[in-house]
């Protein structure tokens, strides 16, 4: 090893973390990386984070490839300090000679020329290129060849049958483990309701511009649901409790986890003390988490804990689903897509923007009456959002 090389080590990421997973090398061997720029991405069972280059230089050796594991403090590569390479002088473009004109049509993928009548017959019978063997001069495909192929029966078209084994990342392993754990250890039950989103949509339309101008963030639906959930948890505290052996742990605060799709999968960062957060606080925090999740920069501290979770499948077009509780929590609210549907209002059929909502809860902790009442309160508050502002 050259005396000038610097070790790239796995940093300490938490007291309980002893091993990480090599996610992706952002800079390959022989490539330059500037100081403090991420050179490699590492994953734990909860989060993904980057390891910055201590100095600017060239990555000389990579000891651990993507998909391999490494211990805390282990050397996974080497960096040779150097200045940034000078920008290359642009080469003078040289025009490529034009291809000679050809009066004949290009040959099909099979390598055999298809006669016009045969091509028409193939299109008529939806036969792909290369699926008919030609018997004409030079292997040309004739109309008779196509008819013979059709009469012989279905055409089997060959294709790639490759397989690829990809190791599960620690995040995906933890997600799988917790989902199975929730199904096996909790008595899960789901109750449903539907929400008329007319009032919230009207309120957003009226104040979206002034809200964004004042706070620098758009007014979304999630802040309304977070405030409604907080009100529900305060009125029905069992949904904010957790099973702890032979006793229940109740929380006098609401740490709401918000499920966000990230670069490496679903993550659930937590809004701490959501009961004290304003609409703008909630929207700003969610936007910041979304950006960090996209860039795989969510920290372990931001994912830790949570007393209740909200997930929004509606952003992906979901009409209805049954969310799974994130243990050891006792409840999760599932939001879904907003679709215009006919409903009865005062004896008349009207078209309204409707959303199905689902509450999955641990029946060991929460009674059905409490769960149904909680979801009904969330519905009522969303349909009359003025109550959220007046806290009534």
Q: Which residues are catalytically annotated?
A: 363, 367
Contacts of 278 (CB under 8 A, 6+ apart): none
Q: Are 266 and 324 in contact (CB under 8 A)?
A: no
Listed residue (382, 374, 377, 331) closest to 355, CA to CA: 382
Non-local (6+) Cβ contacts of 344 within 8 A are 350
Distance from C-alpha of 360 to C-alpha of 192, rounded to nearest angstrom:
9
Give the Cα separation of 112 and 225 in Å (integer): 63
Element (H, E) at 356: strand 348-362
Token pair of 82, please?
């150097």
For residue 73, what are its two tokens? 């403090």
Query: Which residue is it, tokens 């002088």?
Result: 89
Question: Which SS3 state, helix, strand or coil, does residue 140 take?
Answer: coil
Q: What is the DSSP track for 177-191?
A: HHHHHHHHHS-EEEE
Q: How far is CA 240 from CA 225, 243, 350, in A?
A: 16, 10, 37
Ramachandran angles phi, psi of 58, nearest 5° = -105, 135
> What is the phi/psi pair of residue 256, to 5°?
-95, 120
Task: Take residue 93 and report the two structure tokens written for it.
Answer: 């473009």
Helix (H) or strand (E) holding 230: helix 222-235
Beta bridge partners of 247: 244
Q: Which helix (H) or strand (E) holds 368?
A: helix 368-383
Task: Look at the chain and count its residues.
Answer: 392
DSSP label at 37?
Answer: S
Residue 344's CB is within 10 A of a number of other CB atoms, namely 8
Q: How far apart are CA 123 and CA 285, in angstroms?
A: 55
């Amino acid at each position: 090893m050259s005396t000038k090389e610097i070790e790239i080590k796995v940093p300490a990421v938490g007291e309980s973390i002893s091993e990480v997973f090599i996610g992706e090398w952002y800079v390959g061997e022989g490539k330059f990386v500037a100081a403090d720029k991420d050179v490699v991405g590492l994953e734990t069972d909860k989060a993904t984070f980057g390891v910055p280059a201590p100095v600017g230089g060239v990555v000389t050796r990579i000891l651990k490839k993507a998909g391999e594991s490494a211990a805390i403090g282990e050397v996974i590569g080497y960096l040779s300090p150097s200045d940034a390479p000078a920008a290359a002088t642009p080469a003078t473009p040289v025009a490529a000679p034009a291809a000679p004109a050809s009066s004949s049509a290009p040959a099909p993928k099979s390598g055999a020329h298809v006669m016009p009548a045969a091509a028409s017959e193939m299109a008529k019978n939806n036969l792909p290129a290369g699926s008919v063997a030609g018997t004409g001069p030079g292997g040309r495909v004739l109309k008779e060849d196509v008819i013979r192929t059709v009469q012989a029966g279905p055409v089997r078209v060959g294709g790639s049958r490759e397989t690829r084994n990809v190791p599960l990342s620690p995040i995906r392993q933890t997600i799988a483990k917790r989902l199975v754990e929730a199904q096996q250890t909790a008595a899960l039950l789901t109750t449903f309701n539907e929400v008329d989103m007319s009032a919230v949509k009207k309120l957003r339309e009226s104040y979206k511009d002034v809200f964004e101008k004042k706070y620098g963030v758009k007014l979304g639906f999630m802040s309304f649901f977070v405030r409604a959930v907080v009100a529900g948890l305060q009125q029905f505290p069992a949904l904010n409790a957790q099973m702890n052996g032979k006793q229940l742990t109740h929380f006098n605060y609401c740490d709401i986890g918000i499920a966000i799709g990230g670069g490496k999968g679903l993550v659930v960062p937590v809004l701490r003390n959501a009961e004290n957060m304003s609409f703008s606080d909630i929207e700003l925090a969610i936007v910041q988490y979304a950006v960090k999740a996209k860039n795989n920069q969510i920290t372990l501290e931001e994912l830790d804990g949570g007393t209740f979770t909200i997930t929004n499948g509606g952003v992906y077009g979901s009409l209805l689903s049954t969310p799974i509780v994130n243990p050891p929590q006792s409840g999760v609210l599932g939001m879904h897509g907003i679709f215009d549907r006919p409903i009865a209002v005062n004896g008349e059929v009207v078209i309204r923007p409707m959303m199905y909502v689902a509450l999955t809860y641990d029946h060991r902790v929460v009674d059905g009456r409490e769960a149904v009442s909680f979801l009904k309160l969330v519905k009522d508050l969303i349909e009359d959002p003025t109550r959220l502002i007046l806290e009534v």
